Amino acid sequence: RILILDFGSQVTQLIARRVRESGVYCEVWPFTATDDRIRGFAPKGIILSGGPASTVDEGSPRAVEAVFSMGVPLLGICYGQQTMCMQLGGLVEKSDHQEYGRAYVEVREDCALTRDVWSSGAREQVWMSHGDRVAKLPEGFRIVAVSEGAPNAMIADDARHFYGIQFHPEVVHTPHGAQLLRNFTHGVCGCTGDWTMAAFRAEAIQRIRAQVGDGKVICGLSGGVDSSVAAVLIHEAIGDQLTCIYVDHGVMRGGETEQVVRTFRDRFNITLVHRDASDLFLGQLEGVTDPERKRKTIGRLFIEVFEEEQAKLGGADFLAQGTLYPDVIESVSATGGPSVTIKSHHNVGGLPENMRMKLVEPLRDLFKDEVRELGRELGMPEEIVGRHPFPGPGLAIRIPGEVTRERVQILQKADAIYLEEIRAAGLYDAIWQAFAVLLPVRSVGVMGDGRTYESVCALRAVTSTDGMTADVYPFTMEFLTRVSARIVNEVRGINRVTYDITSKPPGTIEWE
Ligand code: XMP
């Protein structure tokens, strides 16, 4: 396995993605990890990430001693290369020729990283983002590639297996970047690339059995990808020691509750408590129009109902959660300074951390797309593993103004038509999230010979990689008019449809 030490680059997680895609397990730790911890992890190779700081500045971060003295291969990327050079006796200086974005390097010599990818004499496209550059190489290093702004675009110390790259091989704008990284992990470090989902599944099952013993596990199922995959995996490990609780808050998508209950009970034979709490939730939402109050009301009731159901079961020893790797990566502060924060947890349905049970979190080493792959490996249906994200407060935050049962039903119908058309057009997987919003605005229309005065429905569809930023999905006008016609004709209560063309930022994905 490979260890990535993070100096705070925006794209450190991409290094981890590329390494894992090549079948090698890796973890991302903050650069402040101690020598002992690093030695204990026993990596086959270490990668030092880029970062926003300048090695020339006083107090800028440095790699710990162990990375140079453990005798394992080392790859420094951007800032990682600069601090490696500095710490090994080289010199880094501010450059007047800053390079950001697309750049070209000239390959001067071959090395283990370029094997079968680049040949000497070639000119290759890379992605640069740096202001500083290595001015004097440490002893033992030679130059492999140069660019206009970086005389040491790629360097190698073959004897120690230390390598440095000034550009970013982990981003797609460096066309052969993944292969360069693969040459490091497989060629230099000797990793075999046998980290597959099948292997992960087998190991995870052993780990769950070892942790749980003959204890009882409870899992809150939301219908989303993460809790669903966690539940199926845990069930495969411990069978009936697992009970899932599904709280229906009455603001799910149309038909979703039935689908979840059916899939888990009938297809996977999982013991599932299905609590229909829609009266309670919709009752308490009466008169509530403020989005944050909606969220708080739903969050509070969810915990109350969940605890009630759990008590009825006589409690449990463990609580299962679908926590993912991006939630647990210890991130380095934006300045690259020494302060270390842990990203906040996104719990299943927002359960409190003080629910006096030990946690079973079998997905905490995985990225989202790896969880999907694991779900497929477990034989889960595509409509669950490929599902768009859905917010915990459900349709309540897609009905600005007061949420009533009638309005929920109107929205469910419109939303179902929209998604049906998206699926039929083969667009579902190209979109991060698509949904309808029922506006608290009425407009005048004409149907047949009569005047109508009904609600307006807004459609939203965005592309995104992490939900932090988003672009509007560019449907054709023909598609949009078809969906509009169907909604207005088939859903009583809606007589006008609009398409939301706001990106994030400045908008958010949800309307509330
Ligand atoms: P925004 O609207 O902030 O949404 O651009 C970003 C992502 O987060 C989801 N979202 C939520 N998820 N509880 C959740 O579990 C919430 O209260 C909530 N609000 C927004 C949203 O669907 C999108 O995927």
CA of 328 to the centre of ligand 1 (A): 19
Element containing residue 383 per DSSP (H, E)? helix 382-385
CA of 16 to the centre of ligand 1 (A): 25
| Distance (Å, whole) CA 472 – CA 476 | 12
Which residues make up each annotated binding site for ATP? 222-228
Q: What is the pLDDT of residues 57-109, one digit of tens each?
A: 999 999 999 999 999 999 999 999 999 999 999 999 887 777 788 899 999 99
Residue having the nearest C-alpha atom to atom 20 of ligand 1: 391
- Closest Cα to residue 139, out of 83, 85, 188? 85
Which two tokens mark 31? 């650069």
Q: How confident is the model at residue 335 (pLDDT cuts 50, 70, 90)?
A: very low
Q: How many helices (H) does the chain have, and how many strands (E)?
A: 15, 20
Best of 249, 293, 510 for a ligand 1 pocket test (most atoms within 8 Å of beta carbon): 510
Query: Cis peptide before 30, with omega less than 30 degrees from 0?
Result: no
Which two tokens mark 242? 């697992």
Domain 197-385 fold: Rossmann fold (3.40.50)
Question: What is the model's pLDDT at position 101?
Answer: 86
The phi, psi pair for 132, rounded to 5°, reads -95, 165
Beta strands in 339-378 (DSSP E): 340-342, 358-360
The phi, psi pair for 394, rounded to 5°, reads 60, -145
Q: Is 441 helix (H, G, I), strand (E, B) or coil?
A: strand
Give the number of the atom of ligand 1 that is nearest the alpha carbon of residue 390: 22
CB 349 within 8 A of CB 247: yes
Identify the CATH number of the domain defined by range 2-188. 3.40.50.880
Which two tokens mark 470? 């988003």
CATH class of 404-499: alpha beta
Give the number of the atom of ligand 1 that is nearest the alpha carbon of residue 295: 17
Q: What is the pLDDT of residues 195-208, one digit of tens each?
A: 999 999 999 999 99
CB 88 within 8 A of CB 134: no
Question: What is the model's pLDDT at position 74?
Answer: 98
- Give me the interface pTM, i.e. the ipTM: 0.99
Matching fold, domains 2-188 and 197-385 = yes
pTM, two decimals, is: 0.83
Which two tokens mark 235? 């069930």
Delimit the domains of the chain by residue range. 2-188, 197-385, 404-499
Average pLDDT on 319-348 reads 56
Active site residue ranges: 78, 168, 170
DSSP bridge pairs for 75: 47, 163
- Closest Cα to residue 221, out of 267, 260, 262, 278? 260
Q: What is the pLDDT of residues 266-304, one digit of tens each?
A: 999 999 999 999 999 999 999 999 999 999 999 999 999
Q: What is the pLDDT of residues 344-403, one digit of tens each?
A: 333 334 566 666 789 999 999 898 889 999 999 999 999 999 999 999 999 999 999 999
Element containing residue 297 per DSSP (H, E)? helix 291-312
Query: Cis peptide before 505, with omega less than 30 degrees from 0?
Result: yes
